[in-house]
Amino acid sequence: MGKNKLKKFAEMETLPNVHQYPFSALRDGVGCPHRGRWAADVFNNSNPLTLELGCGKGEYAVGMGRTYPGRNFIGIDIKGARMWTGAKEAHAEGLSNVAFLRTSIHLLAEFFAPAEVSEIWITFPDPQMKKVNKRLTGTHFLEIYRKVLAPGGVIRLKTDSPFLYAYTKAMIEHNGLPLLAATDDLYGSPLSAEVPPITTYYEQQWLSRGIPSKYIAWQIPEDAVLSEPDVDIEPDTYRSFGRGTLQGF
């Protein structure tokens, strides 16, 4: 591990807006002391709580914290070296409504109580075209989200991926879930007025290459029985940043 990463990990331990719990604490039944009490314990208010899943550098969590001071935001990621950027920025700006949690998304119910979360944002995740159980909008993860979402809670996805957008729409339609909004060209749609005015570093790169941002929002009723749609979706024709060069541009 590089010295820079070690330095970041060490600094993460000192940042008051970063929460890290060893797996051993969950295994031994100690658990997270803030479960069911994040608003009161961490944010000292009773405002609604939004999670950004797979937050990376936390650009969206920090941006939403600036834009909506009457809400609480937690960026969640397993990779602490990335999260360090957003945590430092939020702390330096005194954004008391932004925090970060280092953990796996699989463990959400270990950290949040039923109905504690009012909204979930998933921003530009890996579409996982070959592995449905790793797809963050797949039914495997929806069952996890449902454990922590309040009645009427909303899930929102922004993605560059035509595959993930088409899959998510098919999943929603197949399960009869309430669809609140959907567009395959967010910034060419009136729906852009409903979305926070935040573009991440990677989103800006996609847009500069002519790949529009897609947006979809939906809910999961408590009594919905979820199953995977039987659909054949054309794979994306380009590669993500960091895994090769874009094709077709």
Q: How many CB atoms lie within 10 A of CB 116?
A: 23
Q: How many CB atoms lie within 10 A of CB 82?
A: 18
Lookup result for tokens 């993460």: 12
Of 126, 185, 230, 232, which residue is the catalytic one? 126
* CA dist., res. 99 & res. 94, Å (int): 11
List of residues 6+ apart from 96 with CB closer than 8 A: 43, 44
77 is annotated as an active-site residue: no
- Check: CB of residue 122 under 8 Å from CB of residue 157: yes
How many residues are recorded in the chain? 249
- Check: CB of residue 58 under 8 Å from CB of residue 52: yes
* CA dist., res. 183 & res. 213, Å (int): 9
Adjacent-strand bridge partners of 215: 158, 183
Instruction: Please return the burial class of 169, using the count of CB atoms within 10 Å of its CB with bins 0-12, 13-18 and 19+.
Output: buried
At residue 201, what is the residue type?
Y
Sheet containing strand 49-53, edge to edge, reads: 18-20, 98-102, 72-77, 49-53, 117-123, 149-159, 214-218, 179-183
What is the token pair recorded at 31? 């658990």
Q: So which residues are the catalytic ones?
A: 126
